[in-house]
Amino acid sequence: MEFKHVPIMLDACIEGLNIKGNGVYFDGTLGGGGHSGEILGRLTSGKLIATDLDDEAIAAAKEKLSFYGDKFLPVHGNFKNFKEIIRGFGFNGLDGILLDLGVSSYQLDNRSRGFSYMGNGKLDMRMDGSQDFSAYDVINGYGENELRNVISAYGEERFAGKIAAAIVKKRAEGEIRTTGELAEIIEEAIPKKFRGEGHPAKRTFQAVRIEVNGELRGLKECIYDMIRSLNPGGRIAIITFHSLEDRVVKQCFKDLETDCVCDKRLPVCVCGKKKEIEVLTKKPITASARELQNNPRAKSAKLRIAEKLQITRKIKI
C-alpha cells in the first residue's frame, strides 16, 4: 500500500510560515511529505529537517523528495526530541516550525495498523512500529479504573465507565485482539439513544491511540521549547484535530503573548515576564468548504500560527 496523505490547509500553512529561501525549517510530522515538499520548493540555500515516528513515512518521503538532495534532512524520530535533532545537524535556531498533529490517511486506511474502528485489523495503533507497547496492551492489560481514566481524559467520552467495564467483562472470556471486536464492545456499551452521529467508538479509539503514542505527554513543554528555538521573525504553525491538543496550543500561545504581569502601580517591571510571540491567528484557521469537499478528514482541523519577537525589556512609565 502506497504511503499517501492529503496535506491539511496546505496554502494557509505555507503562507503562514513566510518561508525564507535561506532559512532552516523543521517539519515535525512529515507524513506523506505534502507540507515538506512545498517548504522545500521555496528554499534556495536553506534546509528542512523533518521527523516522523513512522518508518514507512520516512522511507516514502525520502523517495518522493529525493530531488531536493541535501536540502532535505529526514529523521526517524519523535519531534519532541527536536533540540537534540537540530543540534545534531549543527543548527542552533530555526526560521520556521510546522506540526500537523493528526493521524495520516495512510495510517487510518491501512487496516493492519489498527487505527480505525472501520474494518477489522489487529489492535495496534503504534505510530512507531518499533515500539513494543500497543493498543493490545492497553485494552488487555489496563485495569478498569485505568481504562476509564484514559477513555474519559483523552476521549472526553461520557460513557467511559460503561465502556471500561464492558471491556473488562469481555476480556474475562478471552483476549480482545482486533479493532472490530473492540468497536463492537464499545457500541454495545453505549445506550442507543446516546450514540448520535458518527461511530460510537470514535472517542474511545482516539483515547487509546493517544495513550499508546504518548501524544499529549510533554506536548506543552515541547511547544514552549520550539518557540524559544525560533530566530526572531521565525514562525510556528500547528494543526490540531481535537480539543485536547488545541487547548494546549492555545494556552501556550496565550501565555507567550502575554507581557509583564506586575502590579500596574510599580514603576519598573520586576516579574521579568516578556512577550515572546505575536499570535497571527486570533481565531484558528479552519478548512475551506472546497477543501472539506475534497478531504472530509479536515473537518476538525484547526491551524494556529505565531511569530517570534525580538525580546526587549520594557520600563513602565
Check whether residue 81 and residue 121 sit in a common domain: no
Q: Would you say residue 1 lies in a domain?
A: no
DSSP, residue by residue, the chain = -----PPTTHHHHHHHHT--TT-EEEES--TTSHHHHHHHTT-SS-EEEEEES-HHHHHHHHHHTGGGGGGEEEEES-GGGHHHHHHHTT-S-EEEEEEE-SPPHHHHH-GGG---SSS--BS---SSTT-S--HHHHHHHS-HHHHHHHHHHHH--TTHHHHHHHHHHHHTTS---BHHHHHHHHHHHS-GGG--SS-TTHHHHHHHHHHHHTSSTTHHHHHHHHHHHEEEEEEEEEEE-SHHHHHHHHHHHHHHH----S-TT-SS--S-----EEES-SS-B---HHHHHH-GGGTT-EEEEEEE---------
Contact present, 303 and 13 (Cβ < 8 Å): yes
Q: Would you say residue 238 lies in a domain?
A: yes
Check whether residue 224 and residue 182 sit in a common domain: no
Check whether residue 17 and residue 35 sit in a common domain: yes
Give the percent of the chain with pLDDT over 70: 95
The residue that leads in pLDDT, 71 or 262, is 71
pLDDT band at residue 317 using 50, 70 and 90 as cut-offs? very low
Question: Can you tell me the mean pLDDT for 178-186?
Answer: 95
pLDDT band at residue 6 using 50, 70 and 90 as cut-offs? confident
The domain that holds 116 is classified in CATH as 1.10.150.170
Check whether residue 198 and residue 278 sit in a common domain: no
Check whether residue 203 and residue 222 sit in a common domain: no
Which of these three, 167, 183, 213, is where a domain ends?
A: 213
Contact present, 280 and 16 (Cβ < 8 Å): yes
pLDDT digits 0-9 by tens, 213-267 = 999 999 999 999 999 999 999 999 999 999 999 999 999 999 999 988 787 777 7
Q: Would you say residue 315 lies in a domain?
A: no
Which of these three, 172, 195, 213, is where a domain ends?
A: 213
Check whether residue 200 and residue 255 sit in a common domain: no
Q: How many domains does the chain have?
A: 2
CA distance 59 to 52: 10
Check whether residue 22 and residue 63 sit in a common domain: yes
Strand ranges across the sheet with 47-52: 72-76, 47-52, 24-27, 94-100, 230-240, 302-308, 277-279
Which of these three, 213, 236, 259, is where a domain ends?
A: 213
Residue where the block lists cell 460510537: 200
Q: Would you say residue 313 lies in a domain?
A: no
The residue range of the domain holding 238 is 10-101+217-308
Q: Would you say residue 3 lies in a domain?
A: no
Question: Which of these ranges, 69-83, 111-125, 278-292, has the smallest mean pLDDT?
Answer: 111-125
Check whether residue 76 and residue 92 sit in a common domain: yes
Residue where the block lists cell 507497547: 133
State the pLDDT at residue 4. 59
Check whether residue 117 and residue 206 sit in a common domain: yes
The domain that holds 301 is classified in CATH as 3.40.50.150
State the pLDDT at residue 316. 36
pLDDT digits 0-9 by tens, 106-147 = 677 677 788 888 878 899 999 998 899 999 999 999 999 999
Question: Can you tell me the mean pLDDT for 87-115?
Answer: 86
Q: Would you say residue 65 lies in a domain?
A: yes
Check whether residue 204 and residue 222 sit in a common domain: no
pTM: 0.90
pLDDT band at residue 175 using 50, 70 and 90 as cut-offs? very high
pLDDT band at residue 311 using 50, 70 and 90 as cut-offs? low
The residue that leads in pLDDT, 296 or 40, is 40
Average pLDDT over the chain, rounded to an integer = 91
CA distance 216 to 194: 28
Residue 192 has pLDDT above 90, yes or no: no
